[in-house]
Amino acid sequence: MNTSAAVTLFACLAAASSATIVLVACRRHVKVLTLREVAIVVAVGIPWVANALAVIVFGAGSSSEIGLVPVSIVISGVLLLIGIIALGAPNTSSASTPVTHDAVIQGMRDAVVVVNGGGRILDANKAATALLAPSGEALEGRAIKTLCDGRGEWRTICRQLPSLSESRSFEMALPNGNDGPRWVDVLASTLGSAARPRGCILVMRDVTERRLMEEELLHRALHDHLTGLPNRAMLLERIADLLAQSRRSGGSVALLMLDLDHFKEINDTFGHHVGDQLLCVIGQRLRAELRSSDLVARLGGDEFAVMLPRCDAAAAMSAAAKLREAVTQPVVLLRHQVSVAASIGVAVGPRDGGSASTLMQRADVALYLAKERPEGIAQYEASLDPNSPARLVQLNKLRSAIAEGSLTMHYQPIVDGHGEVLRLEALARWPLGRGRTLAAAEFIPLAERNGLLPHLTRWALRTAVWQCREWGAEGWRLPIALNLSAADLADSALVTHATEAIAEAGIEPDDLWFEIKEAVIMKDPAQVMQVLTQLREAGIRVAIDDFGVGQSSLACVSTLPADELKIDKHCACEDHNVVGGTAITRATVALAHELGLTVTAAGVETQQSVEWLRVMGCDGLQGFHIAPPMPADEVSDWLKTQRRRSRLAPGILVRAAPQ
């Protein structure tokens, strides 16, 4: 290689090195490739390219001959000097001034407080001053415990802060005048080593808004949105606490379940907005009648619950009566006077239930019982609970007894004033063995609540009509009466089953009577009217049972397709202590006759009552003085005996069956 070529090569290398240094300097300062950077590269590259072209076109020594080498060396030197200076200059992309720890802490949004070993504040940032001393006074030197709201938990924490051996977090309340406390989250970190702490650093964040939102959400979760009363969740929580307390220290807690009767009619008549206002008024009335320690909750719809701590059964029943009276008082809403009745079920824990859910279930059972009682209040009874283990066992036995036909039927005669047998009332019996037998009133409610009543009614129908046929074959025409419940009347197949049973047995339709209690009729008069009309059209006879114990009147009864009134035993017994009792009974009988109804008196217990009811004009008499309920075989013997020797002069006369 000759001298010219070497010089040319040196010039090219110098230009390339200069360009590299300049590029590095530019990249360090401006981070991205810019026009300035591109211009430098082009400027450096021109002589390098010129030298390279000269070597290629004119030969190795041509570049120095045409004067490119000196120019290239000069330009490369200048650029090299510029690059070296740029590399040594400070980085203009970083902050022009250093940032101290104090500046960082002062700029934090969280409050930072440094506490010494004596519990006094050494330093605090601006956020801490704004949070802990809104009026602007200095925090340095103040004891940290003076900044809290004085609660015992916070005082305990303050005593531990100077000797804190490990980081911990907690929440505390700061005084905030009449606006309520301000809540802050605190992270406390140790100063010094864990073995020899010299104080701590507190980092605080205001979480008042979050705390208020959480409290609002919790309130909504535990309270009814309409009345503002506690809801089911809060009620269960409080009951569980009180039951646990009662197990530790004794005592009892009462739970009252309250349901408004016929509330749906108010909603349908006046609108849901009136119904909502009524619910709010009822909630306020319940709250006003109770102690501050008691709790009233709305469970939903028209159902409320009342929890009474330290309350026994007697006090709970007394409270239930007072609450029911308060609820039934009229309310004026939108110029409408509205009044409702209420049913209340009472359960007392831990006797009736050791857990909150069990006690509520027992109170609900009592509420169901209350709806069937005139007073509208009932206390839980295990013997009437369909969900108790004993009742479940009894339910299974009843189901088997119906399926196997092990139930029996007893019959009680109804006679006229001259002693002639008019018909017999069929009364179901359940033999349990060992001489024990349950009457219908003791197991019919169980069957009704558990869907067994349709099966029981069909069994009773078949048994009654075939027994009527058997007596007819023996020469006795004895119509039979069966009792119907509300569930029976709701069965759309009732009339069909009755007519089919009559046809199968081959008896006359008027040999079958159905007795329906007055209270059942008043629950749904329209439905009862429809069913009774169908029964009468089928030729079946109808009697209204227990007339005089409910709220119906003869005017109401006159619209029903019935054949007879069966007056309650309290109306059928002569009681000279009741003012006007005789006149009322005589008027009832006379008005019934005017309406084309016969009258039977139940519960006849004495011969004196027999004579008195004859005078009153009663058409039929029934009671233990006439005859008790008897099995079918005993009825035949009784009839034969009474033909020879009657308790009622001139004697029991039984119509002979048509030949």
What's the 3-state SS for 365-376? Answer: HHHHHHCCCCCC
Strands 480-484 and 512-517: parallel
The C-alpha atoms of residue 630 and residue 635 are separated, in whole angstroms, by 6
The C-alpha atoms of residue 197 and residue 183 are separated, in whole angstroms, by 27
Q: What is the SS3 assignment for 630?
A: strand
CATH 3.30.450.20 assigned to domain 103-211? The reply is: yes
Contact 107, 44 (CB under 8 A): no
DSSP state of 290: S
Supply 207's token pair: 């979480």
Instruction: Tell me the CA end-to-end span of the chain in Å, nearest whole number.
Output: 156
pLDDT recorded at residue 100:
67
Supply 608's token pair: 């004196």
Supply 371's token pair: 């709806």
Buried b / exposed e along 219-230 (16+ C-beta atoms within 10 A): eeebbbeebebb
pLDDT recorded at residue 652:
43
pLDDT recorded at residue 31:
47
Residue ranges covered by each domain of the chain: 3-88, 103-211, 223-385, 391-644
CATH 3.20.20.450 assigned to domain 391-644? The reply is: yes
The C-alpha atoms of residue 569 and residue 605 are separated, in whole angstroms, by 9
What's the 3-state SS for 511-574? Answer: HEEEEEEHHHHHHCHHHHHHHHHHHHHCCCEEEEEEECCCCCCHHHHCCCCCCEEEECHHHHCC
DSSP string, 334-358: TTEEE--EEEEEEEEETTS-SSHHH
Q: What is the SS3 assignment for 623?
A: coil
Q: Which of 566, 562, 567 is nearest to 596 (CA)?
A: 562
pLDDT recorded at residue 578:
44
Supply 230's token pair: 């506690």
> HSE-up of 67 (CA within 13 Å, CB side)?
0
Supply 587's token pair: 């008027």
- Which CATH number describes the domain made up of 223-385? 3.30.70.270
Tokens 């027999």, located at residue: 610
The C-alpha atoms of residue 560 and residue 514 are separated, in whole angstroms, by 14
Task: Name 101's Cβ contacts closer than 8 Å, sequence gap at least 6.
Answer: none
The C-alpha atoms of residue 64 and residue 531 are separated, in whole angstroms, by 130
Contact 514, 535 (CB under 8 A): yes
* Average pLDDT by stretches of 10, the chain with 659 residues: 56 60 56 51 58 57 51 58 56 52 80 86 88 82 74 64 74 72 84 75 88 87 91 93 89 94 84 89 94 93 94 94 92 81 93 91 91 87 72 83 90 88 94 85 81 90 94 90 90 92 94 89 82 92 80 66 83 50 79 90 88 90 92 88 59 43
Contact 562, 532 (CB under 8 A): yes
Instruction: Determine if residue 389 is left, alpha or beta; phi over 0 gives left, psi from -120 to 50 gives alpha, anything else beta.
Output: alpha
The C-alpha atoms of residue 234 and residue 232 are separated, in whole angstroms, by 6
Q: What are phi and psi of 108, to 5 degrees?
A: -70, 145
DSSP string, 114-155: EEETTSBEEEE-HHHHHHH-TT----TT-BGGGGS---HHHH
